[in-house]
Chain A
Amino acid sequence: MADQPALPDPTRTFFTAAERACVRAISARLIPSDDTGPGAEEADVVTFIDRQLAGFYGRGERWYTKGPFSEGTEQQGYQFESPPAGLYRKALAALDAHCRRTHEGKAFDELGAEVQDGILTAMEEGELEFEGVAATAFFELVLDNTIEGFFSDPIYGGNRDMVGWRLVGFPGARYDYRDYLDHDGKRLDIPPVGLAGRPEWKTP
């Protein structure tokens, strides 16, 4: 596994334009942009998820994918036949159909924030059932991936300009904090740095 390239190929994508718009809208509700700071939108979480789904993660290449498949208990974890990319495709189609049927032909990303939150809550709490795909499992997956895209190193396409790290104060991919051991509970203001440096380091 170590021989595989670590970075997803930025030219490879998975989502259709409609899927991308929907996931972008979902992630923007999960981590909204508001007066506490930038959210999933500014972090470009949707690009992160798109690249992940186009790569080994989306294809489930490091997951055990042999059958037979059955639902299992809560304690047995992910048991769907589809790897993550397939689950997204099915669930996004089902979500789109649900939204258009119940909201006068509109797609998820065309709905207001409160309506969107209501749909996401219904998915989270299992009140919404999709044909042939578990809405709750999809919600959990997209929430996990959104948090990953907000906080992972910017080399993966999300956390753009390290907005996720800046929001919480994480200094990033540093490797020596010995000078700060005696911080004694005081705030440290250390600007973040990523594995590929900082945008301003790049020569024009």
Chain B
Amino acid sequence: MAKKLPPVDVVLVGFGWTGAIMAQELTEAGLQVLALERGGWRDTPTHFPTTVAPDELRFYWRHEMFQDTARETLTFRNNDSQTALPMRRWGSFLPGSGVGGSGVHWNGQTFRFLPSDFVAASHNTDRYGPLPEGMTVQDYGVTYDELETHFDRFEKLCGIGGKAGNLRGALQAGGNPFEGRRSDDYPNPPMEMTFAQKQFGMAARELGLNPFPAPSANMSRPYTNPLGVQLAPCTYCGFCEKYGCGNYSKAIPQTTILPVLMGKHNFTLKTHNEVLEITRDSSGRRATGVTHVDVHGEVFEQPAEIVILCAYPLQNARLMMLSGIGRTYDPRSGEGLVGKNYCYQVVSSVDVFYEDRYTNQFVGAGALGMVIDEYNGDNFDHAGLGFIGGGYLACWTTNARPIETHRTPEGTPEWGAGWKKAVKENFLKSTGVSTHGASMAYAQNRLDLDPTYTDVYGRPLLRMTYDFTPNDRAMTAYLTERATEIAKRMGGREIKVNAREGAYDSMPYQTTHNTGGTIMGSTPANSVVNRYLQSWDVPNLFVMGAGVFPQNAGYNPTGTVAALTYWAAEAIKSRYLPDPGPMVRA
């Protein structure tokens, strides 16, 4: 029998970026907020100071920052003809665990989606005609203009360094000319660019493109955010993604919100407590709270007026399924919505090798890069191309961590004297142009519960059925050709094209941008949550995170995830609290 705990106003399931933002906003509104995090407490001086953080084996290859697959993983298959098998260790993506979630080990590449990304279905249909058969792309139900001030808030919270391209409608030289209208510039200037970015910028300009500095959550100067929390200048140590920042130089929940939040009398955090189920009353239309289990195996019943899912997207979808809220999507009947429109990110790259110039990539940072956006979203005419969407191309210098990053030219053997010679000769003299492609939803790609494999508590694992789609393949081929054109002009001795071909492989690292499964939309017939991220079925349940993306755009998701969280928090405060109930009438 579960022990019943005193009720709270709000319970947050998971405590990463969305949990921290929501907690800060709702405690400011005077609510009693409890966050339940299944991982442990983590802070900079204890868990990843500069004398500990730069350890490639421990943090990346031995997965210290990530969810523990021994306790729970997901199963994977490319398509329905296969049997899904457990991802016994992480590979293609790396969900985080513990306070700060994946927000602790991100690179800090902080984009806004394009205005047209939020209306992908109607925009592309208007311009190019009906979507291809099987493509289940839809509009978000919220527009860029509605989210603009929320993007701006997150950029100021984090001290994002960048260069505006569209300031209140006026195009700005040196910024991204394709971005949506901004109400304000970035709070900090761009990062310092290195040799590789200069070569990329020169090559891009020769091609008539408009390179701009990547928006970065690695501090370009000392910064005090609107909450009064201080961040230190980035030292370009090259240990961002997959690592905690020892320098307080990367915006993460711990360096932006937690120092203010943790001292509040109306906020409580419980770590090492995993939520098992969202509980409901007999009508099924009202969440009564959650049940959770601590490290001793004791189960608690936590009543709450509002339940907000703030875990990783894959977890949010699974918890909805395990709690029986909504119907799990079935592609054969087309019915059900939870688990629908699982999308990813379609990435490729072109390496550049120099003969006598040194890229010195150990002088790097997670969001140190130059970017072009000519081939993203609908920034270019897709007539006759056979796909919609696109992606940015960038020259990043993020690291020279040698187990992970040792580029070798075409024809290099995988081991032995030839491999060793090539690694030695090219380690400090290579860079690359990467493509960061969108992922459009198709009927067959989805999440549901696995019929065979279970977690440490005996509950079904999530099952992922996913492969690249015809749209993805045409798009990534096009983007890779464009990247090749730039790479050839960057002054190197030779290039190597790393195209994204064949079936999606769950093992080689690609990116931790898993989206969909709890999608947002305009009606209960096409979405799990409404435009305010409120469950259609259970109006006092909200779902945050990239799981609400109906499809993924050609940008890193965190900026848009955070803007949507601020937008939802605003709606809860200004509309839901005065009049609890559905904020959109079905």
Interface, chain A (partner B; CB < 8 A): 1-3, 6, 29-32, 34, 36-37, 39, 56-57, 60-66, 68, 70, 72-79, 117, 120, 124, 143, 146-148, 151-153, 156, 164-165, 167-178, 180-188, 195
CB distance A180 to B416 under 8 Å? no
- Determine the chain A residues whose CB is within 8 A of the CB of B80 once the complex forms: none
A2 to B68, CA, bound (A): 11
CB distance B358 to A187 under 8 Å? yes
Contact of A153 among B56, B235, B246 (CB under 8 A): B56
Count of B interface residues, CB-CB < 8 Å: 76
Decide if B323 is an interface residue (CB 8 Å cutoff): no
CB distance B40 to A2 under 8 Å? yes
Contact of A70 among B50, B85, B192, B357 (CB under 8 A): B85
Decide if B501 is an interface residue (CB 8 Å cutoff): no
A68 to B86, CA, bound (A): 10
Nearest neighbor of B51 in chain A, beta-carbon distance: A195
A34 to B421, CA, bound (A): 10
CB within 8 Å of A: which of B225-241?
233, 235-239
Decide if B459 is an interface residue (CB 8 Å cutoff): no
CB distance A76 to B506 under 8 Å? yes
Q: Which of B56, B69, B70, B359 has the most CB of A within 10 A?
A: B70
CB distance A63 to B504 under 8 Å? no
Nearest neighbor of A165 in chain B, beta-carbon distance: B402
CB distance A62 to B69 under 8 Å? yes
Interface, chain B (partner A; CB < 8 A): 40, 42, 47, 50-58, 61-64, 68-70, 72-73, 76-78, 82-83, 85-89, 91, 97-98, 192, 194-195, 198, 233, 235-239, 246-247, 354, 357-360, 362-363, 400, 402-403, 406, 414-417, 419-421, 423-424, 427-428, 452-454, 503-507
- Determine the chain B residues whose CB is within 8 A of the CB of A188 once the complex forms: 358, 360, 363
CB distance B424 to A177 under 8 Å? no
In whole Å, how far is B84's beta carbon from the nearest beta carbon of chain A?
Answer: 8
A121 to B393, CA, bound (A): 37
CB distance A152 to B194 under 8 Å? no
Q: With A68-B452, A75-B78, A185-B358 in contact, is A175–B68 under 8 Å at CB?
A: no
CB distance A177 to B195 under 8 Å? no
Q: With A1-B64, A175-B235 in contact, is A124–B414 under 8 Å at CB?
A: yes
- Determine the chain B residues whose CB is within 8 A of the CB of A168 once the complex forms: 402, 406, 423-424, 427-428
Extra pairs beyond A153-B55, A174-B54, A184-B195 (4, CB < 8 Å):
A2-B47, A62-B68, A151-B403, A175-B53
- Determine the chain A residues whose CB is within 8 A of the CB of B452 once the complex forms: 68
- Determine the chain B residues whose CB is within 8 A of the CB of A56 once the complex forms: 62
Contact of B195 among A74, A77, A185 (CB under 8 A): A185
- Determine the chain A residues whose CB is within 8 A of the CB of B47 once the complex forms: 2
- Determine the chain A residues whose CB is within 8 A of the CB of B236 once the complex forms: 176-178, 181
Nearest neighbor of B354 in chain A, beta-carbon distance: A185
Nearest neighbor of B71 in chain A, beta-carbon distance: A64
